[in-house]
Structure 1
């Protein structure tokens, strides 16, 4: 059996050790703060305070990019603090392009100074766009999460008519190249998949189509998904999926960090109860 990817292994071990399936999303919205210094302090405080209840953290790149150079500096701080806390980092950038541009994105976000342990990737330019990201993830012990069926209501414009299922089959093919044998609880490859928590009726289908993929389930909380609906995304041992909540944690009650902690704990407990 080949060595398991470091990112997938780290997330799975943290899930088992801390009994948490929660991915805490960080979306630092500039209009919520007095200034950049206030934004920085609150974002780092939320990260550190909620870490005991999180399996991983997911910074949304758009909000950091919108801040310019201070945003990139903060992103590096977030990644460094997360690693100090033992939290794997998923960068939510939904990158996807062709040829050398895709290679540059892969170098920047999976191997650069502000790289994450994993990156969300858009496959809708064609499956060849995934190749540099897969290669970079494997080379660095990281992971990617391919958009399969996203949580937004109008996703069906592009992802309907069997397209999501076709992408899922490609994810499974890539993972079959990497890991041998049948799916085993806790053994996941470097190519994961984004499947919206808002698509509860489809979770069992995508779990079956991608048995070796970690599933990232955005939409918990503010987008209306509930933990009680998510059990079909997990394997019997309670591994294999991460439910993401961003606004519902970071801004659970304005900028009250204690409320963020309470929300993270509640989501963790609800997910565990659902399993």
Structure 2
């Protein structure tokens, strides 16, 4: 049985490294489109479906990342849209990463694991926050034995990561180095379960906004697959992504750069925001995804 991280790695080789982030806030959709739907949540679902369909047909990405916070913010209807979005990704044949960043004491972590690896919100891979202690990872790792995957926060892309992740310990290591060592330990635990597969179901979130750490972390964890945020709207450069895509590889997330591409698209600008249709903004998102894929692949070729 292939685990989901292995499938993602193979899809990245086939389709390119782009991960399309469906962090779809209603404010990312022009009013001319929103007004045609009974609610903002329904407009979000329609936009998600258009993007999933186009990305799948054009093979511009290997996966989608769905950030749950944007759906929680829309209440009960938003969570229904979240569940429907997960189903659409499942039908596409691409991998779905649910960006939930959970991390809590063991019993609660177990409930979170059940909530997102079974039932209405079942997904392929989830993001996990380890900074409450490594025991919080165990309930999620148990599902990896059944083929699921986890991306554990290692080095995030926000400026505030220096507050905790980069702090130096008495032994001279950084806090994030301790996390990395735990991920290596977990990775080796799964070697016998998934012998012959080229990556572990245990992955790491490594942001691409700081060039100084990219090669250091890629060389430190050559056998761990990375989820790479920060590209595009957050300012992460393709050349940094390329470094992090080396060795075991990684998938590079772009959310607003694709969802809000219509705001910079020449055809949309010429038409005017008040006249845009769902097709117009989906066309712009499609073009942005293809352009991002090309930029990332070109950067990797020039590594």
Deviation of 1:146 after TM superposition, in Å, equals 0.5
Q: For residue 126 of structure 2, give the secondary structure of its aligned residue in structure 1.
A: strand
Structure 1 residue 31 and structure 2 residue 27: aligned?
Answer: yes
Instruction: Trace 1:157-236 onto structure 2 (pairs within 5 A).
Output: 157-160=163-166, 161=168, 162-179=174-191, 187-236=198-247
Structure 1 residue 270 and structure 2 residue 299: aligned?
Answer: no
User: Does the CA contact (< 8 Å) of 2:71 and 2:81 recur in 1?
Assistant: yes
Q: For residue 208 of structure 1, give the secondary structure of its aligned residue in structure 2.
A: helix
Partner of 2:157: 151
Structure 1 residue 22 and structure 2 residue 33: aligned?
Answer: no
Structure 1 residue 129 and structure 2 residue 146: aligned?
Answer: no
Deviation of 1:95 after TM superposition, in Å, equals 0.4
Deviation of 1:221 after TM superposition, in Å, equals 0.3
Q: For residue 90 of structure 1, give the secondary structure of its aligned residue in structure 2.
A: strand
Alignment partner of 2:9 out of 6, 9, 12:
12
Uncovered stretches (5+) of structure 1, i.e. residues with no partner: none
Deviation of 1:41 after TM superposition, in Å, equals 1.0
Aligned-partner Cα distance in 2 for 1:48–1:168: 36
The TM-score, its normalising length taken from structure 1, stands at: 0.91
Q: For residue 69 of structure 1, give the secondary structure of its aligned residue in structure 2.
A: helix
Structure 1 residue 44 and structure 2 residue 53: aligned?
Answer: no
Deviation of 1:212 after TM superposition, in Å, equals 2.5
Q: For residue 113 of structure 1, give the secondary structure of its aligned residue in structure 2.
A: helix
Aligned-partner Cα distance in 1 for 2:298–2:28: 33
Structure 1 residue 69 and structure 2 residue 85: aligned?
Answer: no
Structure 1 residue 53 and structure 2 residue 60: aligned?
Answer: yes
Partner of 2:272: none
User: Does the CA contact (< 8 Å) of 1:172 and 1:211 recur in 2?
Assistant: no
User: Does the CA contact (< 8 Å) of 1:48 and 1:85 recur in 2?
Assistant: yes
| Shift >6 Å, 4+ stretches | none
Deviation of 1:229 after TM superposition, in Å, equals 2.1
Aligned-partner Cα distance in 1 for 2:13–2:144: 23
Q: For residue 4 of structure 2, give the secondary structure of its aligned residue in structure 1.
A: helix
User: Does the CA contact (< 8 Å) of 2:144 and 2:150 recur in 1?
Assistant: yes
User: Does the CA contact (< 8 Å) of 2:6 and 2:201 recur in 1?
Assistant: no
Deviation of 1:144 after TM superposition, in Å, equals 0.5
Deviation of 1:250 after TM superposition, in Å, equals 1.1
Aligned-partner Cα distance in 2 for 1:226–1:206: 16
Deviation of 1:209 after TM superposition, in Å, equals 2.4
Partner of 1:244: 253
User: Does the CA contact (< 8 Å) of 1:109 and 1:115 recur in 2?
Assistant: yes
Q: For residue 122 of structure 2, give the secondary structure of its aligned residue in structure 1.
A: coil
Aligned-partner Cα distance in 2 for 1:137–1:65: 26
Alignment partner of 1:108 out of 107, 110, 115:
115
User: Does the CA contact (< 8 Å) of 1:111 and 1:136 recur in 2?
Assistant: no
User: Does the CA contact (< 8 Å) of 2:89 and 2:95 recur in 1?
Assistant: yes
Aligned-partner Cα distance in 1 for 2:144–2:111: 13
Aligned-partner Cα distance in 2 for 1:97–1:125: 6
